Amino acid sequence: MKYIIYSIILFTFVFANGQTALDSLLQKENKESIPYITVSELVQKENIVLLDSREKIEYETSHIKNAVCVGYDKFKLKKIKKLLPKDKNTPIVVYCSLGIRSEDIAEKLKKAGYTNVYNLYGGIFEWKNQDNSVVDNKGETTENVHTFNEDWSIWLKKGVKIYKKKKSKQ
């Protein structure tokens, strides 16, 4: 029952308020300890490290070109540090679906001494909603975007919504 009520509230916020609803959701879920970078600011940036903090199945469905999958549930800073530049002032942008999980990962980077870390406002959903391309695991452009689950898919306005979990091996 709680799941149904949450879904109704989420649905109402999205369609009644548009961007204001996303602002409200992010303010509720995030501490805002990491500065946001907007999609329009990101497309103008050069020489950045782009980290995808979604799970592997989400990343394999599609991701922003040149992003490195660092995961969320199995995020290991020690392993990721090997992929990052030695210069801890290098700009790093972390994203997820909307910008909630990415804040957690960005906080870990900040705690490790990285000084120029940003959270992509609206995540890959906002990226795609603003007509930017995403690529699949083979590097080919795709319209598919993994939306984590059906409830979160309401935030994706453009592209093909995918929210199936990978079948476990038996």
Collapsing DSSP to helix, strand or coil, 78 comes out as helix
Close Cβ partners of 77 (under 8 Å, ≥ 6 residues apart): 108, 109, 112
Question: Which pLDDT tens digit goes with each residue over 48-89?
Answer: 999 999 999 999 999 999 999 999 999 999 999 999 999 999
The average pLDDT across 129-158 equals 96
Fold of 32-162: Oxidized Rhodanese; domain 1 (3.40.250)
Over the chain, what is the mean pLDDT? 89
> Does the structure show a pLDDT above 70 at 17?
no
- Where are any strands of DSSP class E within 60-143? 68-69, 92-95, 117-120, 134-135, 141-142
Using 50, 70 and 90 to split pLDDT, how confident is the model at 6? very low
Q: Please give the pLDDT value at position 20.
A: 80
> Is the full-model pTM beyond 0.75?
yes
Using 50, 70 and 90 to split pLDDT, how confident is the model at 3? very low
The average pLDDT across 119-128 equals 98
Catalytic positions: 96
Q: Please give the pLDDT value at position 168.
A: 44
